[in-house]
Amino acid sequence: MTQLDLVMAKVRAENRAALIAYIPAGFPTQSGCAKAIQALADAGVDAIEIGFPYSDPVMDGPIIQEAADISLKGGTNAADVFSALKVAADTGVAAVVMTYWNPIEKYGVEKFAQAIADNGGSGVITPDLTIDESDAWIEATNKTGINPIYVVAPSTKDQRLKDVTAKTGGFVYAASMMGVTGTKDAVSSTASQLVSRVRTVTDLPISVGLGVSTREQAKSLAAYADGVIVGSAFIKLLLEAKSEQEGLDSISHLAKELALGVREGR
């Protein structure tokens, strides 16, 4: 059982949703990323996703793309991703990596899974990996005991939902709308419909991502989801900050607000 499994069981027992924060490794700098991770953990997030910066991020919107570009220009590599993962795990929150498949394949499938486990990580979210092409990855995650986390969308057919969730661990990542990541004025109504559909095929916790940026949005999602994922809203604050400390203060304030939101949903 991973730390993520324990966290999701804990929040379920507390009758609330988990708050899951996303930040790319190496953003805004290597040291700045470590400080941001600590600030988020101190502010009350339950889990942290470390993004593996990638040059062709098909699921990411402009805000995360800009952050990834800054990170890549700073020289961020796989070792830095695992280092950031360890920083997150050492705070006591559940820590996972979110990455496209190409960096895993390039690094070595078994080696990548082992590095996640060695650095205290609970699992990996792979948005562009289909279960049909997952045999080697599933074998590696089984061997290392980490969670393989797959993404489902409103367009995913019912039988496919059943097939995908049967191979998922930790939680099911439910993309709340068709499209890329980014803050939205309102979270799509398709999110609740998707969560309801997923619940008919699995008992796994379901976390909703794409578009959450306010306490009210977190509250509305927490009414039916087991986890609320927030990324672009934190990154936007760091991008707009005039100093490192201003950025840290801003994400800390937002995280505290969102932590209240996920507790108000039920």
Using one digit for the tens of pLDDT, what is the confidence trace for 231-261?
Answer: 999 999 999 999 999 999 999 999 999 999 9
| Three-class secondary structure of residue 50 per DSSP | strand
Using one digit for the tens of pLDDT, what is the confidence trace for 168-225?
Answer: 999 999 987 544 444 444 455 688 999 999 999 999 999 998 678 999 999 999 999 9
User: Rounded to two decimals, what is the model's pTM?
Assistant: 0.94
pLDDT at site 114: 98
Higher per-residue confidence, 190 vs 129: 129
Q: What is the dihedral of CA 49, 50, 52, 55, to 10 degrees?
A: 80
Which sequence spans correspond to the domains of the chain? 3-264
For residue 96, the cross-strand partners are 49, 123
pLDDT at site 181: 46
**Mean pLDDT, all residues of the chain:** 93
CATH code assigned to 3-264 = 3.20.20.70
Catalytic positions are 49, 60
pLDDT at site 57: 64
